[in-house]
Amino acid sequence: DVKVTQSSRYLVKRTGEKVFLECVQDMDHENMFWYRQDPGLGLRLIYFSYDVKMKEKGDIPEGYSVSREKKERFSLILESASTNQTSMYLCASWDNNSPLHFGNGTRLTVT
């Protein structure tokens, strides 16, 4: 089974801190995604990557950056966390012949 692992289930950070959310997948998938999920808004795409060192902006990239140095790892970076970035963050990966597979999410609280 495909496994997408997010490093933390819960995080609490202070406003202005730099925050790293890590995601690792074990199926050699080319495509990886970061979403955030907020009540009433569904899943919104922040960034995605279709190859090592490649990245594309999603619908809401402002305030975020990403890093894909290795195929299996896709990191989401909040350069200076703000309270409006309190959310559930979901990482996902897929390849052309597989469904999208999600991690169990990181619930980030910025105080």
Partner 1 sequence: DAKTTQPPSMDCAEGRAANLPCNHSTISGNEYVYWYRQIHSQGPQYIIHGLKNNETNEMASLIITEDRKSSTLILPHATLRDTAVYYCIVRVARTGANNLFFGTGTRLTVIP
| Residue whose C-alpha is closest to residue 8's, from 18, 17, 21 | 21
Residue ranges in 14-73 that form contacts with partner 1 under rule CB under 8 A: 30-31, 33, 35, 40-45, 48, 50, 56, 58-59
For 106, the enclosing helix (H) or strand (E) is strand 106-110
Residue 38: name the closest of 91, 78, 82, 84 by CA: 84
CB of 15 to partner 1, least distance (A): 25
Q: In the complex with partner 1, which residue's Cβ is closer, 12 or 100?
A: 100
Nearer to partner 1, 17 or 38 (CB): 38
